[in-house]
Amino acid sequence: MSIERERGTTLVRQRGVTLVELIMFIVIVSIALAGILQVMRMTTANSADPLRRKQALLIAEALLEEVRQAGFTYCDPRSGNAAEAQKSADCELAEGWGNEGGKPYLRPYDNVNDYAGAAATATAAFDNDSGALTDALGRPLNLAGYSASVSIVPDALGDIAASGTDADSEALRIRIVVKYDSTESVVLDGYRARYAPQAGVQ
C-alpha cells in the first residue's frame, strides 16, 4: 500500500488483484485445462490405432513384394518346353490360375497367378489350413485380428493393353487387402509386367 499526498488530501492506491479478476482468471484457466485434458484423453485412448495400422501396412507391403517377385511365365516351370514357349497355347503344361502344386505346396509360389484362384477373385493365399496368417515359409505370424487376401487381374499398364482374364496377359494388377480390428483395412495395389516371360525357368 502506498500513500500519496496531493493538494492536502490523502490518496490510498492499492496494488494487487481484485476478487473479480481472480475469479475470471480461475475460470479461463479451468476452461483451457479442460480442453487440454480432453485432447490428452483422446490421444491416449486412440494411441494403439496408428500402431495397428502401421503393422497392417507392413504386412501388406511384405505380401505384395512376395507376389511381385514370383515368376510370370506362360508355362508352368515343370513344363518340358517352358523355356521355348511364346504363349500359353504352346506349353505342354500351361500356367493357370491357382496353386497347381496343391497341399502341402508351400509359398513362395513359382508364378504370380498361383496366388489367386481366378482372375479378379480375392483369395486368402497367405493362410494356413487353420486360417492363420503365415509368412512365406508357412509359419504362423501370431498376429491376432489380422487377415489378408490377394486379387490379381489382367490390366492395362502404359502401352500394354488389358486382355480380360486371358492367361497370356502382359500385365497384372495385384491388390493386397489386409483387414484388422474387424472394420479397418489397408489396401495396396501393385503391377507385374511380363518383361521377362522365361525368367526363373530352369
* pLDDT tens readout for residues 97-153: 887 666 545 788 888 888 888 888 888 888 887 888 888 888 888 888 899 999 998
Instruction: Compute the Cα dihedral for 147, 152, 155, 160 and give only its sign.
Output: positive
- 52 and 23 share a domain? no
- 21 and 101 share a domain? no
The structural domain count of the chain equals 2
Is 54 part of a structural domain of the chain? yes
Task: Give the residue carrying C-alpha cell 496366388.
Answer: 115
* pLDDT tens readout for residues 17-28: 888 989 999 999
Instruction: Compute the Cα dihedral for 39, 40, 41, 43 and give only its sign.
Output: positive
Residue 83: CB atoms within 10 Å: 13
Is 201 part of a structural domain of the chain? no
- 35 and 63 share a domain? no
- 72 and 152 share a domain? yes
Mean of per-residue pLDDT scores for the chain: 81
Is 198 part of a structural domain of the chain? no
Is 125 part of a structural domain of the chain? yes
User: Would you state the pLDDT for residue 110?
Assistant: 82
* Single pTM value for the model: 0.69
Is 200 part of a structural domain of the chain? no
DSSP character for 3?
A: E
Dist CA 128 CA 101 (whole Å)? 15
- 58 and 13 share a domain? no
- 86 and 13 share a domain? no
**Parent domain of 35:** 2-45
- 90 and 22 share a domain? no
- 53 and 19 share a domain? no
Judge whether 99 and 67 are in contact, CB under 8 Å: no
Is 199 part of a structural domain of the chain? no
User: Would you state the pLDDT for residue 193?
Assistant: 86
- Side chain identity at 111, as an amino acid letter? N
- 40 and 106 share a domain? no
- 105 and 24 share a domain? no
- 39 and 108 share a domain? no
pLDDT reading at 29 higher than 80: yes
